[in-house]
A and B are shown apart, each in its own frame.
Chain A
């Protein structure tokens, strides 16, 4: 029954729209259930998403520092995945920007 409800949530998420945000929501509800570790996602990536949304909602370009921060996050995630996928240790992620 829980599986059915999770599928329902994923389906509802998919019906929101075709933009990247909805895609991320779908990822949360599909790949995320591999370890059912959404709490870790919320704690680790959630602040970054809120941060990016803040820039978008202000309808402005990111500052060079903000742009560098987003790149550092993507680089760290990629490095972490490549390391774990090769049997290596996890790579620490940068702390989310505070502003």
Chain B
């Protein structure tokens, strides 16, 4: 885990509180249902979820912190430390693997200056991130676009039919 000197919760703006209220309103039967969407809101705002985030969300929903922490440690999407500005998630599942996704991932790693064979450290950790903090690259499971394999999710955008030899140029555009 990264040592953070500033607590994310100290940087909350009124707009964030309003957005959180809006999220909670979608769950009229049980506000605990808002825990996942609040985690998304938090991570989108701050890049990751620190202890103060876990405390803030649990307090907002009348829960105890472990109720939120157990979600962060279960779901692969959430992390407790900063990732790169652009996160490249290459699909490693069958159809993409058959179409060459391992080579595609290696090319992405090389293009952003990462060791292609460095592993992911596990739940809660950020995926391997380039020294300049610009890129993270990781393998993920099937992205539901197997017909246009190999694919990768680059931040919010899906890139399909990726040719290994086109990766370097793609990364240049993302820089």
A binds B: no
Which chain B residues have a beta carbon within 8 Å of chain A's beta carbons? Answer: none
Which chain A residues have a beta carbon within 8 Å of chain B's beta carbons? Answer: none
